[in-house]
Structure 1
Amino acid sequence: MNKLVTTLLFLLFFVSLSAQTKLDKSSFQRTTEETKNNAQDSLLSRSNKNSKEKSGDKNEKAKIQDYLIISHNRDTTFVDTTLTIQKEYKFNYLRKDNFGLLRFSNIGQTYNSLTYNFQNTNLMPGFGARAKHFNYTEIEDVNYYRVPTPLTELFYKTAFEQGQLADSFFTINTTPQFNFSVRYKGLRSLGKYQHILTSTGNFTFTTNYQTKNKRYNMRGHITMQDFLNEENGGIVDDNIDEFESGDPEFLDRSIFEVNFENAEGFLKAKRFHLEHDYKLINQTDSLALNQLTFAHIMSFEDKYYQFDQTTADTDYFGEAFVSSTLQERATIENFYNQLQVNYSNNIIGDLQFNVSNNNYNYGYNKIIVYEGETITNRLKGNIYAAGAKYHKRYKGFNLNGEAGLNFAGDFDGNYINASASFKLREDIAATASINHSSQVPNYNMLLHQSDYIEYNWQNSFSNIQTQQLSFNAKYKKLLNLTVDYSTITDYVYFKENETSLQVSPFQNQSTITYLRAKLENEITFGKFALNNTIMYQNVQDPNNTLNVPELNTRNTLYYSNHLFKKALYLQTGFTVNYFTKYYMNAYNPLLAEFYVQNETQYGNFPLIDFFLNAKIRQARIFFKTEHFNSSFTGYNYYSAPNYPYRDFIIRFGVVWNFFM
């Protein structure tokens, strides 16, 4: 990866030199309906006032609204350099709001999920090793850009002990039609406990192009990702009492004995993705709109998860075929192609038909025979699917529909997704949606091989069937209410086998009902504000296979003000996170999966942070004391059984945008 990054940065240097000629800024201007002014965002002119007056170029000063960010679903926003409470919530390793996720002690480790969303439009099984995928850049996570001048963003945040977290991003339009961007996020952190070093890297290159007549459009990306975690199995049972006692002798977490110190898990992946389309008919006038477009999507992804251990730990994982140099590697190669026909009409709406092919190859490089039974080493084949999409705006309603079906291949699957949204006013909106899905369980639930005897299986589970009804109502910042109700049949999950006491997949033959209600609001009084996020959850499951806390809250009281003649914008306050006790899932490092346990409840501990953030021009500076209440509210906080949550720590960082 280092050679590739060096080569691309080298190319970036020369392309930047060739792009120094002034772009036509008028081609980047957007209408008033497409953009909104932001009082805290401002850009300096690329030249001084005198030179601007001499040149007479009224478009010399680029606007913040012209720096466009285009999502996977083609929703367009613009660069936001403001300092808000949402920026505070997103200033973390994932770079997104992580409400509902419980962090492990070291940055770059996994997260325990406090809530689940069963809306699904996937027709293929997932890879597995889901605990390693929280920071994984999926196709839906990649954004594309269109900017009038080169844009750079630098992100930095301190880590735990030795190391740091940094994220660097650069994008440029060499012409109004062609853009590319480069991003690399890297982390290294030693951690407070023994043998939990993390080292991760996410590299993303994107490009998009449009011909001058706008008939042909292309966009694509390359991602290369690697995630290394030293695994220790958590602290040993005999040290639990010492941790919870709060004895000063044990505040040095490195003295705790862990279950093992000779293992590590490694996830590595690369992906090449391309989307392009051509408008065969592009007829637009004041009375009618008819547009016929042919499109093609192609994506290739190569990924593997590997667990290495120098000597077998039979006390933790059970008996093994070998006593030393254990190595488990599961690989997946997936080549995806989709052909689309899109038709748009101002009366009918937007209609799409598509057909696709998934060529998959998952498995291992060896065949295991155990007790006379052969466990196959590969699952491979072709899946052919068909789908349709529909979109229409009608009398204030925004209607969307989508469906997909596997019609040939070894995996059955289908989904239907429909939604309707309505805006009563600019600040009042409501959305209702329905989703049905039938999907094969993840690959590692169907097939798994290991040097540990009890971690070998080949299953033929029924598809997981889910149905979800969802409703959302939003009114300014005073109300954002989301309620969804899901039913899940044939749910597949991991738990300990009652005989071997080792973790393996099981299928729940009962139907689970799952209700979630999430309320977000913000109350302001002068320069103070109270931001609240409250989630209520209720699960009806006779087998107790889906465990979540009944109540999960986040409340932030903060103060905001301009200082020093508005040269500095300050935000400071306290955030309290809390969730009720429940049977928290345990973590299995060999599988990189969480599994169900119904013996011990965890939770009912507050997590209080103090933050002080400032904005100076385009730089946002963040300072935080995390979990500063740890020493006086009790040492009973865990991210998973045997995995203590983070202690009190002071961290700081910065996000800085540069507009050239």
Structure 2
Amino acid sequence: MKKALFLISFVIIGYHCNAQEQRSPGRVGEEKSKDSVAEPTIDLFKIISIENDTTHVDTSLTIQKDYKFNYLRKDLFGLLPFANTGQTYNKLTEFRDFSTIMPKFGARARHYNFMEAEDINYYYVPTPLTELYFKTVPEQGQQLDAFFTVNTSERLNFSIAYKGVRALGRYRHILTSTGNFRTTLNYQTKNRKYRAKAHFVSQDLLNEENGGLTDEALASYISKEPEFDDRSVLDVNFENAESTLYGKGFFLDHQYYLSGAQDTIQNKFYLSHRLDYSYKKFQYLQSAAATAILGEAFQSTNLNDETRYRNMDNTVAVNFDNPVLGKISAKAGYSFFDYWYDSVFIGENGVVGDRLDGRLINVGGSYDNYLAGFNLHADVSFNFGDDFSGNHILASAGYSLDDNNFLNFGIKQTSRAPNLNFLLYQSDYINYNWQNNFDNENAQSLFFELSAKMIANFSGEITQIQNYTYFSLNNDGAVKPFQFVGDVRYYKLKAQREFTFGKFALDNTILYQNISDGKDVLNLPELVTRNTFYYKDFWFDKALYLQTGLSLRYFSSYQMDAYDPVLAEFYVQNETEYGNYPVVDFFFNGKVDQARIFFKLENLNFLIDGNNNFSAPRYPHNDFMVRFGLVWNFFL
């Protein structure tokens, strides 16, 4: 972490010094020339997604910026954080991703802060741009996200960034130490016939594991005994374990235009190629076996579980784009993955292998067009292989009713193998060894989004899943993978609307969801809400723009999933309900020039009434905290 931060600081300082030198008072003629040129507007600082959707840098202060001022840098609605920054999140709504047809690596609870290819952006900037994010953490430590990008010419952009967190936490043995390094390239030739985007990422996400509170500590926490307000005196199940998710990835996406160019309206015919390579390793270390909690182990000391995975997707496509016929793409590719351990396990119930591998041919296509007022989109993908075949079909249409109302609706269907840790797992703990031959998970969804400015923003989804896979306890109380023989059906409806009354505003988000089939294997709260009432105004002759108010979060009681530290996965429990409590935050945010400053009293009501709530069974909800931080952009 220190080396990466030093490298980024060196690059940023170098460009700052260079800018100062070029504007030195001794170069009077050059200074006048520069002053005569208008500064670039902020809409010229472009952010480009993996699918070439383009936005621009936004230095405004809005209530949505407050929601995204956190470790993940995204809105956490629907997620319930654990007590320490950098730990995992329990789900308040279903986030299972059925948009890909390759089975995923396990340890999903550790992946919230793991940056995949679709999480990386690319840039075009007329002048060098720096963004610094800082926020305090519970107890000792800090979190920082430093980013720098520059166009060395109009056609070539580089960026480099590092996000690092180290937080001790208030409970015993929950230290987190994480790092996400990424660097990108965005290039086009002078005639715009060839374009390329590439990135490299290197990540390590470490969490100390404690197994949650002991039975005695649990009783003291629930009863709010004053002597345990110092959370470090609460006993935990073990203090000798840690888990780490490592990852490296390289991505290249480039196109060559045989006719036309990307920014023209004329007919375009071009070839594209995408290469996505990633390597992951999940490691669980424990100096002495916790047999009373996790079951018998093959060895009593120095437990070391390592699961490795590598994957490469290599796809070529032929694309035709016509103003009338629309954009048509046909693609074909080859994918492989390896998921492995160092040895074969032979147990009482048979042999557990040491490897899963897939060699897959994939074909597909997509279509986009604007026809009779509708924005049409379709995408199909098929994998062909011995054991890991799958498919994904998506069709959607969008229609603008008028300038203030937009409707998008569609259908999607996916069939793919379950995540790989459902199929094969090895551990030094005896109960955590298995190999299964599960069927493909099949999911069908109907969805819609309605943006009605005068009413609210609505989104909804009806989903049906066959062969739903999940972790739960077997008859012996051990965590095991299962596949549900029936159908899981659920629907959810979300509404968001902000009401403004002069200098005051009320922002409301409400999520209602219902599980009609499969309630024993999928647990979700029926109601999740967030309501924010705040004041906004300019102060000090408009030198400061501020927002201050209260935010209330709530979810109804439900049988919350439990957390397993060996797997870094959540598993279904149907014994105890949690929830049905409000959480209130007070915030005071301000914007001065390009800096947004955030001050927050988190979980304010716990300061008054105490806290005995949970983020997962045995894992307490975070307490009252004073948090401070900022996001600062520098335009050189």
2:533 aligned partner, one-letter code:
L
Aligned with residue 54 of structure 2, among 76, 79, 95: 76
Alignment CA distance shift 1:134-1:56 (3 Å):
closer
Q: CA deviation at 1:632?
A: 3.6
1:146 aligned partner, one-letter code:
Y
Aligned with residue 445 of structure 2, among 444, 464, 468: 468
What is the alpha-carbon distance in structure 2 between the residues aligned to residue 459 and residue 277 of structure 1? 41
Alignment CA distance shift 1:123-1:471 (3 Å):
same
Q: Does 1:456 align with 2:433?
A: yes
Does the CA-based 8 Å contact 1:521-1:532 persist in structure 2? yes
Q: Deviations over 1:86-107 (max 9, x none)?
A: 0100000000001000000001
Aligned with residue 640 of structure 1, among 586, 607, 616: 616
Does the CA-based 8 Å contact 1:356-1:384 persist in structure 2? yes
Alignment CA distance shift 1:581-1:56 (3 Å):
closer
Q: CA deviation at 1:631?
A: 3.8
Q: Deviations over 1:492-536 (max 9, x none)?
A: 0000111x2110100001111111000000001010000000000
2:551 aligned partner, one-letter code:
T
Aligned with residue 477 of structure 2, among 487, 501, 508: 501
What is the alpha-carbon distance in structure 1 between the residues aligned to residue 400 and residue 218 of structure 2? 53
What is the alpha-carbon distance in structure 2 between the residues aligned to residue 247 and residue 46 of structure 1? 64
Alignment CA distance shift 1:621-1:477 (3 Å):
farther
What is the alpha-carbon distance in structure 2 between the residues aligned to residue 56 and residue 255 of structure 1? 62
Q: CA deviation at 1:13?
A: 7.2
Greater mean deviation of Cα atoms: 584-593 or 414-423:
414-423
Identity %: 48
Alignment CA distance shift 1:53-1:135 (3 Å):
closer
Aligned with residue 179 of structure 1, among 157, 172, 188: 157
Q: Which residue of 1 aligns with 2:224?
A: 246
What is the alpha-carbon distance in structure 1 between the residues aligned to residue 311 and residue 408 of structure 2? 35
Aligned with residue 587 of structure 1, among 554, 563, 586: 563
Q: Which residue of 2 aligns with 1:356?
A: 333
Does the CA-based 8 Å contact 2:358-2:385 persist in structure 1? no
Q: Deviations over 1:410-430 (max 9, x none)?
A: 301101011111112222111
What is the alpha-carbon distance in structure 1 between the residues aligned to residue 184 and residue 369 of structure 2? 30
Alignment CA distance shift 1:241-1:433 (3 Å):
same
Does the CA-based 8 Å contact 1:218-1:276 persist in structure 2? yes
What is the alpha-carbon distance in structure 2 between the residues aligned to residue 296 and residue 14 of structure 1? 35
Q: CA deviation at 1:237?
A: 1.7
Q: CA deviation at 1:121?
A: 2.1
Does the CA-based 8 Å contact 2:383-2:389 persist in structure 1? yes
Greater mean deviation of Cα atoms: 7-16 or 618-627:
7-16
Q: Does 1:626 align with 2:591?
A: no
Q: Deviations over 1:8-43 (max 9, x none)?
A: 776777788899999xxxxxxxxxxxxxxxxxxxxx
What is the alpha-carbon distance in structure 1 between the residues aligned to residue 141 and residue 607 of structure 2? 25
2:565 aligned partner, one-letter code:
P
Q: Does 1:191 align with 2:169?
A: yes
Q: Which residue of 2 aligns with 1:345?
A: 322
Aligned ranges 1:12-91 → 2 under 5 Å: 55=33, 59-91=37-69
Q: Which residue of 2 aligns with 1:553?
A: 529
2:243 aligned partner, one-letter code:
G
Q: Secondary structure at the match of 1:95?
A: coil
Does the CA-based 8 Å contact 2:43-2:57 persist in structure 1? yes
Aligned with residue 131 of structure 1, among 109, 124, 128: 109
What is the alpha-carbon distance in structure 1 between the residues aligned to residue 131 and residue 544 of structure 2? 20
Aligned ranges 1:379-398 → 2 under 5 Å: 379-398=356-375
Q: CA deviation at 1:354?
A: 0.7
Alignment CA distance shift 1:3-1:648 (3 Å):
closer
Q: Which residue of 1 aligns with 2:277?
A: 300
2:178 aligned partner, one-letter code:
T
Greater mean deviation of Cα atoms: 412-421 or 51-60:
51-60
Does the CA-based 8 Å contact 1:552-1:578 persist in structure 2? yes
Q: Which residue of 2 aligns with 1:441?
A: 418
Does the CA-based 8 Å contact 1:46-1:61 persist in structure 2? no
1:490 aligned partner, one-letter code:
N
Does the CA-based 8 Å contact 1:553-1:578 persist in structure 2? yes
Q: Secondary structure at the match of 1:249?
A: helix
What is the alpha-carbon distance in structure 2 between the residues aligned to residue 282 and residue 259 of structure 1? 64
2:423 aligned partner, one-letter code:
L
Q: Does 1:658 align with 2:634?
A: yes
Q: CA deviation at 1:246?
A: 1.8
What is the alpha-carbon distance in structure 2 between the residues aligned to residue 46 and residue 604 of structure 1? 62
Aligned with residue 76 of structure 2, among 98, 118, 122: 98
What is the alpha-carbon distance in structure 2 between the residues aligned to residue 125 and residue 309 of structure 1? 28
Aligned ranges 1:588-627 → 2 under 5 Å: 588-627=564-603
Q: CA deviation at 1:659?
A: 0.4
Q: Deviations over 1:171-208 (max 9, x none)?
A: 00010100011110100000000000000001110110
What is the alpha-carbon distance in structure 2 between the residues aligned to residue 152 and residue 634 of structure 1? 41
Aligned ranges 1:206-605 → 2 under 5 Å: 206-282=184-260, 289-371=266-348, 373-476=350-453, 478-498=455-475, 500-542=476-518, 544-605=520-581
What is the alpha-carbon distance in structure 2 between the residues aligned to residue 15 and residue 279 of structure 1? 34
Does the CA-based 8 Å contact 1:296-1:337 persist in structure 2? yes
Q: Which residue of 2 aligns with 1:36?
A: none
Does the CA-based 8 Å contact 2:584-2:604 persist in structure 1? yes
Does the CA-based 8 Å contact 2:181-2:202 persist in structure 1? yes
Q: CA deviation at 1:247?
A: 2.1
Aligned pair count? 634
1:548 aligned partner, one-letter code:
L
Q: CA deviation at 1:621?
A: 0.6
Q: Secondary structure at the match of 2:428?
A: coil
What is the alpha-carbon distance in structure 1 between the residues aligned to residue 304 and residue 127 of structure 2? 49
What is the alpha-carbon distance in structure 2 between the residues aligned to residue 129 and residue 56 of structure 1? 53
Q: Secondary structure at the match of 1:629?
A: helix
Q: Secondary structure at the match of 1:630?
A: helix
TM-score after normalising by structure 1: 0.92
Q: CA deviation at 1:372?
A: 6.8
What is the alpha-carbon distance in structure 2 between the residues aligned to residue 641 and residue 14 of structure 1? 50
Does the CA-based 8 Å contact 2:192-2:262 persist in structure 1? no
Q: CA deviation at 1:373?
A: 2.1
2:137 aligned partner, one-letter code:
A
Q: Which residue of 2 aligns with 1:33?
A: none
Q: CA deviation at 1:598?
A: 0.2
What is the alpha-carbon distance in structure 2 between the residues aligned to residue 312 and residue 400 of structure 1? 53
Greater mean deviation of Cα atoms: 254-263 or 536-545:
536-545
2:625 aligned partner, one-letter code:
I
Does the CA-based 8 Å contact 1:477-1:522 persist in structure 2? no
What is the alpha-carbon distance in structure 2 between the residues aligned to residue 542 and residue 397 of structure 1? 36
Q: Which residue of 2 aligns with 1:109?
A: 87
Q: Deviations over 1:622-652 (max 9, x none)?
A: 0000001114445331000000101111010
Does the CA-based 8 Å contact 1:52-1:60 persist in structure 2? no
Greater mean deviation of Cα atoms: 440-449 or 332-341:
332-341
Q: CA deviation at 1:78?
A: 0.8
Alignment CA distance shift 1:15-1:626 (3 Å):
closer
Q: CA deviation at 1:395?
A: 2.7
What is the alpha-carbon distance in structure 2 between the residues aligned to residue 653 and residue 596 of structure 1? 36
What is the alpha-carbon distance in structure 2 between the residues aligned to residue 65 and residue 509 of structure 1? 52
Stretches of structure 1 lacking an aligned partner (at least 5 in a row): 23-44
Does the CA-based 8 Å contact 1:464-1:490 persist in structure 2? yes
Does the CA-based 8 Å contact 1:517-1:537 persist in structure 2? yes
Q: Secondary structure at the match of 2:132?
A: strand
What is the alpha-carbon distance in structure 2 between the residues aligned to residue 217 and residue 190 of structure 1? 44
Alignment CA distance shift 1:280-1:640 (3 Å):
same
What is the alpha-carbon distance in structure 1 between the residues aligned to residue 556 and residue 589 of structure 2? 29
Q: CA deviation at 1:439?
A: 1.1
Q: Secondary structure at the match of 2:70?
A: coil
What is the alpha-carbon distance in structure 1 between the residues aligned to residue 501 and residue 628 of structure 2? 28
